[in-house]
Structure 1
Amino acid sequence: MRASRFFISTLKEAPSDAEIISHKLMMRAGMIKRLGSGIYTYMPMGLRVIRKVENIVREEMNRAGAVELLMPVVQPAELWQETGRWDKMGPELMRVKDRHGRDYAIQPTSEEVITDVVRADIKSYRQLPVNFYHIQTKFRDERRPRFGLMRGREFTMKDAYSFDRDVAGMQQSYKIMYDAYVRIFDRFGLQFRAVAADNGAIGGSGSHEFHVIADIGEDALVYCPQSDFAANMEAAEAVALSASRPAASQALVKTPTPGKAKCEHVAELLKLPLSHTVKSIVLTVEKEDADKEVWLLLLRGDHELNEVKASKVPGLANYRFASEGEIVEWFGTKPGYLGPVDPKKPIKVVADRTVSNMSDFVCGANEEDFHYTGVNWGRDVPEPIVADLRNVVAGDPSPDGKGTLAIQRGIEVGHVFQLGTRYSEDMQATYLDETGKPQLMQMGCYGIGVTRILGAAIEQNFDDKGIIWPTAIAPFEVVVCPMGYDRNEAVKAETDKLYDALLAAGVDVILDDRGERPGVMFADWELIGVPHRIVVGDRGLKEGKLEYQGRRDATATPVALEEMLAFVQMRLNG
C-alpha cells in the first residue's frame, strides 16, 4: 500500500470528549470518527486492525471445529419473548417496530436466534455436537456510552454457540473453546488473564472471562501469584479470616457514640481497630403471597459487600436495598446505628464468614448515638445464617490454600459460558437420543468483543508518542519512510526496490510517498503505531545502509542495504 493512495487523517489534539488514552489516540490517529453517542465510523486505518483481529479469531474458531454462519442484526420479538428476555433485558435492548407494527430487537447477542435455527434442523443425537459462530454487528443501548470503542453502543462481536447431547459433552465443548480463546489472545500479542466469573443475566452454570491487563480496566481481577487461582471480583471466594471463633471475654455494653454513624468514626472514638467493628446492610425482599421480608447482612467494618454474592444467598435472589422508612420501621432508628441485637421487628440475619467467627465485636445498638461493644454470637444474638458476602482484598488467603491473593485491573474482552439448558428448555430445542426419546440440548456460548480489542490493546500498549500495536494486529506491519522520495532519484529507486521486495515476501507494508517532512512523517507513524519502521536516506545510501527502528526502540539500527529484507523478516518472526 502507498500512503498517497490510502486515507491518513491524523490530529494533533484529541477531541474534548475523548476521556481515556485509547479513545484519544484512536481519534488522533484517524482510526475512528464519532457519528453519535456511542456510535463510530471505522476509518480505513482502524478497519485494517479490526480485520486482522477478525482473521485471527476466524482462523482459531475454524481450527477448533466451529462452523461460521451469519445471523441477522434485526430479530423478531417472539423469540426473545419465548425466553423471557424481551422484558428482562430492560432498556439496554433496542426495540423497533416495522411498518406493520410488529416488534423486533436490534440484537445485542444471538442465543434465541441460534437456538431457533438448531431446533429446526437438528433432530438426532448423530448430528451432535455442533458449534456455530458469526462475527456480526451488535447494539446495546448503554445508559452512558463512554470511552470510545470500550463502551460504545454499536460494536462488533464474535459469538459462538455449542450444542451437545449431555453435560459432559457441553463441558468438553467449553474446554475446546477455552483453549481456542487462549490461542487467540496469545496471537494478539496481549498480556491477558482468564478468570472464573459469574454468569450474570445470561444464565447457566459456569463461565470464565478473558481480560486484557490494563490500569484503566473497569474490572478487578483477583489471582494468586503462588497458584493457578484466578477469578473476577464478583466470583472470587472470600474465606474466613480466622479459623474459629474465640470465646467471649467482654460484657455486652451499650456505649454512647454521639454523631458517629460510620464504623470508621466509631472505631476512632473507641480507640479500636476498624476490624473489631461490624457494619449492617439492610435488604428487602418483596413477597407475592406474604408480607415483605427484611434481611440484615453483617460485614466486618473494613470489608465491602459483594452484591452478586448476596443475591446467591437462598431467599435473596430478588432483593433490593431497604428504604429509610423500612429501616426505621424494623429497627427503630435511622441508618448508622443498626445491629442484630434486639431489632424492633423480626429479621433474618446473615453474617459474612469472617463476622461469624468474630467475638467481642462492636455494632449498632438500634438507637441513635449508641453502639454495643462486647457483642457475641449465641450469648447476645442468635447464631446467624453464614455466607460469603464480601469482596476479597489483597493479602487475603487464596481459597485454594496455596498462597495469598493479589488484585489487578483488567478490561473484559471475552467471555465463555456453560449455559446448560437455559435456552433449550424455554425454546424446546430437543434431539432424539439412541432410544428415540427427546432430550434437551446442552448449550454453551462464547463471545469476543472484536472492536473492544482495539481499545484494550492500546490501553496496554502506548507511550507519549502514540499507539504501539502488537505486530499481529497492527494496521501495517512495516512502514517505509524515504527522505526526499519526490526529490532524490537514488532514494526513490532504492525505496521502490525495497518496497517491492517486502511485498513479494508477504510483508504487510505501507510506503509513505506523500513527500512530507521527516518530522511530520515520523510523528504520524509513531502516533498510528506501526511497529516496524525503515528509513531510506541519501546519506545512508552512500554508505550502503538503511535505518531500522522498532516502535519500542530508543534508537535506530543501521542495516546493510542488501540485508534489510532478511533483517525485517527476522524481527517480524521474533
Structure 2
Amino acid sequence: MKASQFFISTLKEAPADAEVVSHKLMMRAGLIKRLGAGIYNYMPMGLRVIRKVENIIREEMNRAGAVELLMPVVQPAELWQETGRFEKMGPELLRVKDRHERDFIIQPTSEEVITDIARQELRSYRSLPKNFYHIQTKFRDERRPRFGLMRGREFTMKDAYSFDRDEASAGKSYEQMYAAYQRIFERLGLTYRAVAADTGAIGGDRSHEFQVIADTGEDALIYCPNSDYAANIELAEALPLITTRGAATKPLTKTPTPGKSTCEDVAALLGVPLQTTVKSLVLATDEKNEAGDVLKSTVWLLLVRGDHQLNEVKAGKVPGLKDGYRFATVAEIEDHFGCKPGYLGPIGLKKPVKIVADRTVANMSDFICGANEIDFHITGVNWGRDLPEPDVVADIRNVVEGDPSPDGKGTLAIQRGIEVGHVFFLGTKYSKAMNATYLDETGKPQLMQMGCYGIGVTRIVGAAIEQGHDERGIIWPDALAPFRVVICPIGYDRSAEVQTAADQLHDQLQAQGVDVMLDNRGERPGAMFADWELIGVPHRVVISDRGLKEGKVEYQGRRDAQATSVGVGEIGAFLTSKLA
C-alpha cells in the first residue's frame, strides 16, 4: 500500500472532549471520527485494526468448533418480553416502533434471538452440542457515553452461544471457549488476566472476565501472586480479618463527636485506629403487588469496618436482598433511627431493622459506631452484651490489598484492568424462559443447557492503546497494527535512487504478504516520522540518498530508542527475522 492511495488524517491536538489516552490517540491518529455522543465513524486506519481483531477471533472460534452466523441488529420485542428483559434491561435498551406501532429493540446482545433459533432448529439430542457465534454491531444507550470506544453507545462485539444436553457437556463447552479466549488474547499480543466474575445482568452460574492489564483500567482485579486465584473486585471473597471475637474490655459510652460524621474524622478525633470504627449503610426492600404498588418496605442496616467499602454486588446476594434493593430514603432513615445520616448505628433504634454484619465486623469487640444522635458516637460496643447478634453475617465488603487469599496461599494484590471479554455458563436461564427443549434418547423433552461468550471487538482496540502508548503515540502489538512496516523515504519525490529503493523494498515485502505502507507523500522527515509514531506502526525503515551512498538504510522498531543501520541488500532478510 502506498500513502497516496490510502487515507491518512492525523491531528496535532486531540479534541477537547477526548478524556482518556486511547480516545485522544485514536482521534489524533485518525482511527475514528466522532459522529454523535458515543457514536463514531471507523476511519480506514482504524478499520484495518478492527478487521485484524475480527480475523484472529474468527480463526480461533472456528478452530474451537463454533459455527458463524449473523443475527440482525433490530430484533422483535416479543422475544425479549418472553424472558422479561424488555422491561428489566431498563433505559440502556433502545426501544423503537415500526410504522405499524410494533415494538422492536436495537440489540445490545442476542441471547433471545439465538435461543429462538435453537428451539426451532435443534430438536434432537443428535443435534447437540452446538455453538453459534456472530460478529455484529451492538447498541447500548449509555447514560453518559465517554472514553471513545471504551464506553460508547454503538460498538462491535463477538458473541457466541453454546447449546448442550446436560451440565457436564455444557461445562466442556465452557472450557473450550475459555481456552479459545486464551489463544485469542495471546495472539493479539496483549497482557491480560482471566478472573472469576459476577454474572451480572446476563445471568447464569459461572463466569470469567478477560481483562487487559492497564493502569488506566476501570476495574480492580484481585489476584494472589503465589497461586492461580484471581477474581474481579465484585466477586473476590473477603475473609474475616478477625478470626475470633475478643471479650469486652471497655464500657459502653456515649461520646461527643461534634461535627465528625465520618469514620475517618471520628477516629482522628478520638485518637484511635480507623479499624476500631464501624460504618453504617442503610438499604430498603419493597414488597409489591402485581400492579407494582408497594405493600410493605423493610429497612436493612449493613455494617462494615470503617476502613472498608460496601460491595453492592455482594450485598445483592444476601438472603432478603437478592430480589432487589435500593438505598433507603432520608425519611425512612429518620423514621427508623431518629437521626439523619452521618451518626447512624445499631443501638437505640426507633423501629426494628434487619442487621447484616460483614464477617470482620461480626468478630469485632469494643468497636465504635454512631449513636443515632447528631454529634455523638458510641464507644466500647460489643455484640451480645450491648446489642443482639446480627440477623445475617455475610461477606459484603470489597477486599483490600494485603487481605489473606481465599485459597490460603498468600495475600492478595490488586491491579487495574479493562474488561474486553466475558464467558458465562447460563444453564437454563434462557432455555426455560423460552421453552427451548430437545428430545432425549427416550423421546422426552429436556431443557438445553446454555453458555454465552462475548468479546468487545472495538473495545479491544481502545484497551490495546491504553496498554501500549508513550508520549509520541500508539505502540501496537504486531498482530493489531494497521500496517506492520512503514517505509519512510526521504526525498521520494526528488531522488530517483531513493524512489527505486523504496519501491523495490515495498514490492518485495508486499509479495511476501507483509502489511507494508510506503509513505510517498513527499513529507518532511520530522512530520513523516511523527505521523507514523503517532499511528504506531511497529517497524520503520528510512531510506535516504546519504544512506544509499553508503549502501545502508535505517531500521527502527517503535519501542527502540535508536535506529539500526542495515545493508540495503540485507534489509529484506532483516525485516523477515523481525516480523517472525
TM-score, shorter chain, exceeding 0.5: yes
Q: For residue 490 of structure 2, what is the amino acid of its counterpart?
A: M
Partner Cα separation in structure 2 for residue 199 and residue 178 of structure 1: 15
> Structure 2 CA distance, aligned partners of 1:330 and 1:90?
31
Aligned to 1:315: 320
**Structural mapping, 1:15-94, within 5 Å:** 15-94=15-94
Superposition pairs of residues 133-532 of structure 1, within 5 angstroms: 133-288=133-288, 291-317=296-322, 318-384=324-390, 385-532=392-539
Partner of 1:556: 563
Deviation at 1:258, TM superposition (A): 2.4
**Superimposed CA distance per residue, residues 202-221 of structure 1 (whole angstroms, 9 cap, x where no aligned partner):** 11001011111112111111
Q: How much has 1:474 moved relative to structure 2?
A: 0.3
Deviations 1:444-500 (A, max 9, x none): 000000011111101111111111111101000100111111211111111111111
Cα distance in 2 for residues equivalent to 1:288 and 1:553: 64
Deviations 1:397-436 (A, max 9, x none): 1111111111111111111111111100000000011111
Q: Which runs of 5+ in 1 are unaligned?
A: none
SS in 2 for 1:115: helix
Letter in 2 for 1:376: N
**In structure 1, the residue corresponding to 2:161 is in which secondary structure?**
strand
Question: Matched residues in 2 for 1:12 and 1:257: separation?
Answer: 55
Q: Secondary structure at the match of 2:296?
A: coil
The residue type paired with residue 241 of structure 1 is L
C-alpha distance in 1 between matches for 2:525 and 2:256: 74
Q: 1:260: how far off?
A: 2.0
- The letter of the residue matching 2:17 is D
2:163 match: secondary structure: strand
SS of the residue corresponding to residue 473 of structure 1 reads coil
Q: TM-score, normalised by structure 1?
A: 0.99
Is 2:567 the partner of 1:569? no
SS in 2 for 1:282: strand
* Alpha-carbon distance, 1:368 to partner: 2.4
Q: 1:254 deviation in Å? A: 1.9
Instruction: Report the Cα offset of residue 14 of structure 1.
Output: 1.1
Partner of 1:107: 107
Structure 2 Cα separation of the partners of residues 533 and 424 of structure 1 = 53
Q: What amino acid is aligned across from residue 394 of structure 1 in structure 2? A: E
Q: CA deviation at 1:326?
A: 0.7
* Greater mean deviation of Cα atoms: 409-418 or 283-292: 283-292
Of stretches 113-122 and 220-229 in structure 1, the one that deviates more from structure 2 is 220-229
CA distance in 1, matches of 2:288, 2:444: 38
Q: Matches of 1:163 and 1:134 in 2, distance apart?
A: 15
Q: RMSD of aligned C-alpha atoms?
A: 1.0
2:39 partner amino acid: I
* Higher alpha-carbon deviation: 252-261 or 341-350: 252-261
Measured in 1, the distance between the counterparts of 2:337 and 2:85 equals 37
- How far apart, CA to CA, are the structure 2 residues paired with 1:254 and 1:523? 67
Give runs of ≥4 in structure 1 deviating > 6 Å.
Answer: none
Deviations 1:479-535 (A, max 9, x none): 011111121111111111111111111111011111111111111111111000011
Deviates more, 1:161-170 or 1:338-347: 338-347
2:372 is paired with a residue whose SS is coil
Q: How far apart in 2 are the matches of 1:288 and 1:508?
A: 61
User: Counterparts of 1:288 and 1:471 in 2: how far apart (Å)?
Assistant: 56
The 2-side partners of 1:459 and 1:520 are apart by 24
Q: CA deviation at 1:120?
A: 0.2
Unaligned runs of 5+ in 2: 290-294
Residue aligned with 2:288, SS: coil
Distance 1:138 1:291 in 2: 39
Aligned residues: 573
Distance (Å, rounded) in 2 between the aligned partners of 1:162 and 1:479: 42
1:547 maps onto 2:530 in alignment: no
TM norm structure 2: 0.98
